[in-house]
Structure 1
Amino acid sequence: MTKIDRYILILFLRTVLVCFLSLAGIFIVFHAFTAIDDLVALTDTGESLPSVLVRFYGPYLILLFDMTGTIITLMSFLFTVGWLRRTGELTATLSAGISHGRIFRPMIVASLVIISAQLACRECVIPQFRSSLTMEAEDLNGEIEQAVRPTFDRFAGILIEGAQLETKARIIEKPNFRIDSEYAGFGDILIAREAVWMDASEDAAAAPPVSGYLLREVKRPESIGTIASARRGDQPVLLTSADQDWLNADECFVATTVHPNMLQTQDTATRLASVWELSGRVRNSAVHSSLTLQTQVHERIVRAPLDFALVMLVLPLVVNARGRKIFVLIGSAVGMVLAFFALKTLAGALGGSGTLFTPGIAAWVPLLVVAPLAYVRFRAVQRV
C-alpha cells in the first residue's frame, strides 16, 4: 500500500465515521427526548447513567449500522472523490498516468470490509440482542411480555397457545395447548399455570431427551400423572410422570420443534433472526412456512453480494467524465439507489405472494439484474 493509498483510505474511513456518528447522534438525541425519564429512573439501582445509555443504545447503534452501512459507504465514496477533485489531488494523480480504478481501489476494498462487517453483525451480534431491540426503555431491566402467536405443530397435532410469552425466560404464561390428535387419556386440551421451554438433554433421567415445553401445575386433564405417556411412532409427544421419573405428578412435557422465537408476535423477532435460524424454521416440516418467510431467507443470503453490487453500480458516477457538480452526482446516485430498492421491493412482493416467481427466484432476481451491470460498469472504470 502506497502513501497515496493510505491517504485516500484514511480520508474515506473518516468520512464514513463522521456520517455514521452524525446519524447516530441524531437518532439518540431525538429518541432521548421521549425516553430520558425512563432511562434516568434505571439509575436508581446504582448504575450510572452513561452505563444505562450504552446498554440501551448500544444494540440500537449496531442495528443502525446494519441498516445504513451500505448507503453511508456509498455517500462517503462520492464525498471523498468530490473532495479529491475539489482540491486538485485527483487531477494531479490522474496526470501521472494512474487510472481511476487504481485510485479507487482502497475505497473499494474498504467498502467490501464494511459490508462484511455488516454481515457479521447481522448474523452473529444482532440476534443476541433481539430481546433488547424489542423493549422499551422502562423494560430494560425487566422481562418483556408479549402476546403468543398461535402456532400449530403438524407432527404432534397440537396448537400451541397461551396468555403471555416471556421472551427472555422462554416461558408461556397460562398455556392452553389444543390437541387435534388422538392421545389416549389426554382429551382435547392441556391447561397449566406455565410452560417452560427446555432443550434436549443427553441425561434422559434428569431432563427431556427431546426439546419441548414443560407444563407445570397442569389443571386439565386432571390427575395428569396417572395418564401414560403418548408417542407418535418412535417419537415421544406427551410425557408424564407415569413413566418418566424426572417429572412431577402435576407436570407434563410436550415434545415439539416450535421454539418460543416462533411464537413472538413482534415482527422484529423474525427480522432480527439469523439466516441459520430462519432457514431452520423453513426446514422444520412440523411448522408451516409462509412464502414471505421463504423469500426473506433468500433475501438475507443474497444481501451482502447485492450491497456490494450496488456500490459497484454507482462507481461510474464517481468518475464523473462529464464534469458534473457533486450535488448532481449525489442526486443521480440517490435516483439509482431508489431504483435499486424499488426492484428489490417488487421482487420480494412477487415472491411473498407467489406471483410469477418462486420465493427463491424472486429474491435472486435483483442480484441477477444488478450484478452483471455492476461488473460491466466496474470494468469500464478500470480503463478510464
Structure 2
Amino acid sequence: MTQIDRYILGLFFRTFLVCFASLSGIFVVFHAFQNMNDLAELAESRGVGISRVMWYYYGPYMLLLFDWTGAIIALMSLLFVVGWLRRTGELTATLAAGVSHGRIFRAMVCAALAIVLVQLASRELLLPTMRDALSMKSKDLSGDAPQPILPSYDKISGILLEGHSIRPRSKEIHQPNFRLDVEYAGFGEAIVSASARWLPADENHDEGYLMQDVFNPPAIDSIASARRDGRLVLMTAHDQPWLAPGQCFVVTPVNAEILQTDQSSTRLCSSLQLLERLRNPAVHNSMATRVLLHERIMRVPLDFSLFLLGLPLVVNRRGRNLFMMIGAAIGTVMLFFALKTAGSAMGGGGYLLSPAVAAWMPFLVLGPIAYVRLREVETV
C-alpha cells in the first residue's frame, strides 16, 4: 500500500463515517423526540439513566441501519472523495503522473468489499442475537407485549396451532386452542388451556408447548398420552410423572417465532436458521421465505455490484460536477432496488420466476455490467 492509497483510504473512511453518523443521528433524534416519554418511563422503571436506555434501545438499530445502507453509503463516499480530489486538483496531478483511474480507485474498491463483508458478518452473527431488541415497538420497550398469533399447521402431527395472543420474548401463548385434525384417542377435536409456553427439547420430551390449566378435554389427567406413527405427540400426567396435574405437553417443531404475525423477526434470522426452517417438514413455508434465503446468498455480490456500477460515474472526461454524479448515482440505486423488488415480488408470488431465479435475476442483469465497467475503469 502506497502513501497515496493510505491518503485516499483515509478520505474514504472519514466520509463513510460522517455520512453514516449523520444518517444515524437523524434517525435517533427524530425517533427519540417522538418517544421521549416512553424512554423516560422505561429508564425510571429500571432505575437507570436515560442515556443507558437509549443505548440499549438504539444500539441494535445502528447495526440494522448499517446493514441496510452500508453499500449505498460506500457508493456515496466514492463520489464525495472523487469530487474532493477533483476540486483540489489532486486527481489531475496524479493522472498526469501516469497513474490510471483503476490504480487510484483500487484502494476504495477494496475498502467497499471490506464493508460488504463486515455487513455479512453483522447480518449472520450479530443481528440474529438482537432480534428481541429489534422487534421492540416504541409503545412496548419491554418487547414482550401480547401480539396477535398467526395460526400455523403442523403437517407431521396434524395439529392447527391457534390462540388469543402470544408474548414474543417469553414465548408464551395466551388462551391456546390447538385443533386436532387427526384422531387422538380421548382428546377429542381440540386442546384448550389458559396458557402454553414453548420449551426446547430435554431428557423428558422433544421440543413443543407445555399447556397449563387444560380445561378441554375435561379430566385431562385421566387420558393416556397419545402417539402418531410411533412418535409421542400428546403427553399427559396420566403416564408422564414429570407433568403436574392439569398440564399437557404438545410435541411440535412449530416454534413461537413461526406463530408471530410480525414476520420482521424472520428477516433477522441468519441464513442457517432460515435453512433449518425451510427444512422443517412440519412447517409450511411460503415462496417469499424461499426467496429470502436465496437473496441472503446473493446479497454480497449484489451489494458489491452496486458499488462497481458507480465507478464509471466518477471516471469521465466531461468534468461533470459532484451534483450531476450524485444524481446519476441516485438513478443507479433506484434501478438496482427496482430490479430487486421486482424479482422478490415475482418469486414470492410465484409469477414467472422460481425463488432461486428471482433472487439471481438482479445479479444476472447487473453483474456483467458491473464487471465490464470495472474493466473499463482499470484501463482508463
Provide the TM-score with structure 1 as the length reference. 0.95
- The Cα of 1:259 is off from its aligned counterpart by 1.0
**What value does the CA root-mean-square deviation take over the aligned residues?**
1.3
Distance 2:78 2:263 in 1: 33
Alignment-derived partner of residue 322 in structure 1: 318
The AA in structure 1 aligned to 2:115 is I
Alignment-derived partner of residue 13 in structure 1: 13
Alignment-derived partner of residue 340 in structure 1: 336
Q: Which deviations, in whole Å up to 9, do the C-alpha atoms of 1:94-144 show, x marking residues without a partner?
A: 122111111111111111111111112222222222222222345324623
Matches of residues 1-384 of structure 1 in structure 2 within 5 Å? 1-44=1-44, 45-141=46-142, 143-201=144-202, 203-204=203-204, 208=205, 210-384=206-380
**SS of residue in 2 equivalent to 1:168:** coil
Distance 1:292 1:321 in 2: 44
The AA in structure 1 aligned to 2:354 is T
Distance 1:120 1:230 in 2: 44
**SS of residue in 2 equivalent to 1:39:** helix
- The Cα of 1:46 is off from its aligned counterpart by 2.0
Distance 1:187 1:261 in 2: 27
The AA in structure 2 aligned to 1:300 is R
Please list every run of 5 or more consecutive structure 2 residues that lacks an aligned counterpart in the other structure. none
The AA in structure 1 aligned to 2:186 is G
Distance 2:274 2:296 in 1: 9
| 8 Å contact kept, 2:133–2:143 | no
Q: Which deviations, in whole Å up to 9, do the C-alpha atoms of 1:255-306 show, x marking residues without a partner?
A: 1110111011113122222222222222222111111221122112211210
Distance 1:136 1:347 in 2: 30
**SS of residue in 2 equivalent to 1:192:** strand
| 8 Å contact kept, 1:240–1:252 | yes
Distance 2:77 2:248 in 1: 58
Q: Which deviations, in whole Å up to 9, do the C-alpha atoms of 1:43-94 show, x marking residues without a partner?
A: 3232011101101111111111111111111100110111011111111111
**SS of residue in 2 equivalent to 1:155:** coil
- The Cα of 1:348 is off from its aligned counterpart by 1.2
The AA in structure 1 aligned to 2:53 is V
Distance 1:218 1:69 in 2: 50
Aligned length: 379
Distance 1:135 1:141 in 2: 7
Q: Which deviations, in whole Å up to 9, do the C-alpha atoms of 1:130-162 show, x marking residues without a partner?
A: 222222345324623211100011111101011
The AA in structure 2 aligned to 1:30 is F
Distance 2:59 2:65 in 1: 10
Distance 1:57 1:96 in 2: 47
| 8 Å contact kept, 1:295–1:352 | yes
Deviates more, 1:274-283 or 1:252-261: 274-283
- The Cα of 1:226 is off from its aligned counterpart by 1.8
The AA in structure 1 aligned to 2:84 is W
Distance 2:222 2:245 in 1: 8
The AA in structure 2 aligned to 1:33 is F
**SS of residue in 1 equivalent to 2:32:** helix
Distance 2:228 2:364 in 1: 45
| 8 Å contact kept, 2:136–2:142 | no
Q: Which deviations, in whole Å up to 9, do the C-alpha atoms of 1:13-35 show, x marking residues without a partner?
A: 00000001101111111112210
| 8 Å contact kept, 1:39–1:138 | no
Distance 1:370 1:284 in 2: 34
Please list every run of 5 or more consecutive structure 1 residues that lacks an aligned counterpart in the other structure. none
| 8 Å contact kept, 2:136–2:143 | no
Q: Which deviations, in whole Å up to 9, do the C-alpha atoms of 1:307-365 show, x marking residues without a partner?
A: 00111122111212332111111111111111111111111111112111111111111
Distance 1:242 1:363 in 2: 51
The AA in structure 2 aligned to 1:32 is A
Distance 1:331 1:137 in 2: 35
Identical-pair percentage = 53
**SS of residue in 1 equivalent to 2:186:** coil
